[in-house]
Amino acid sequence: MARNPVAQTAFGPMVLAAVEQNEPAGRRLVDDDLAELFLPASLRWLVAATRWGPARRLMIRGSEFTGPGLWVNMACRKHFIDDRLKEALDDIDAVVILGAGLDTRAYRLTRQVKIPVFEVDQPVNIAMKAKTVRRVLGELPLSVRLVALDFEQDDLLTALAEHGYRTDYRAFFVCEGVTQYLTEGGVRRTLEGLRAAAPGSRLVFTYVHRDFIDGSNRYGTRTLYRNTRQRHQLWQFGLQPDEVAGFIADYGWRLVEQAGPDEFVQRYVEPTGRKLPASQLEWSAYAEKT
């Protein structure tokens, strides 16, 4: 198991997705039938315990102590991204998943289409992903390429090109749960690498509010702030919703939509009949290359 503290964060969102899969179909916030299989054995045992409803509800309530509302945010951002990707499939030539971790999106996508999918992450996570895919699927699908790089140091476009990416691809870029772990320089370096994306390409990314990063608003969670800012400095970058359009416009992207907690609850939580809150801390944004 990776010792890199940022790399370790790959497990949490997939545990959440796997636990949600144990909800009845009409009550799930996200559908991911591969999530549990992609987890290491110790976490698969934990997820298996949540097939019992009371244990599942206890885990979800327990998550509120660390980050009130973030269970909904993390589950619904996956749903939001999957919806945007599904809508765009007929208009894109490739998918690029930045900070892929143990995310299963690439492997669920191969069931529908055979376009190239590039999974980009730190070398330690790419090695873990390759091993996991071989364990679960036997081999890496031909349409999926694993790309190892350091977002703070390496050139994204060069790394992608070495694995077959072409700048004339209309690509769908996913950057889920990543930007807060980078410095502002790392975020700008990544966007600079995407400047050459073909017109019509799409970008969906998540971000945390900058006032959490600077400590002026803890969003009701001292524990999360202590863990991500005071003890380990894991989270380094944030934006405010009214800054997003201008920030990405500098790199040739037009903001199409932002989804915050109110939208997530209305779109995804209320139809399930579940009574779960969402946090103002994290938002999702969707953009198109001009």
Q: What does pTM read for this prediction?
A: 0.95
Q: What gap in Å lies between CA 93 and CA 158, rounded to an integer? A: 18
- pLDDT for the residue 79: 97
- pLDDT for the residue 1: 40
- pLDDT for the residue 163: 97
- pLDDT for the residue 2: 42
Positions in the chain short of pLDDT 50: 1-2
Instruction: Tell me which architecture the domain covering 67-289 has in CATH.
Output: 3-Layer(aba) Sandwich (3.40)
- pLDDT for the residue 137: 97
The structural domains of the chain, with segments of one domain joined by +, span 67-289
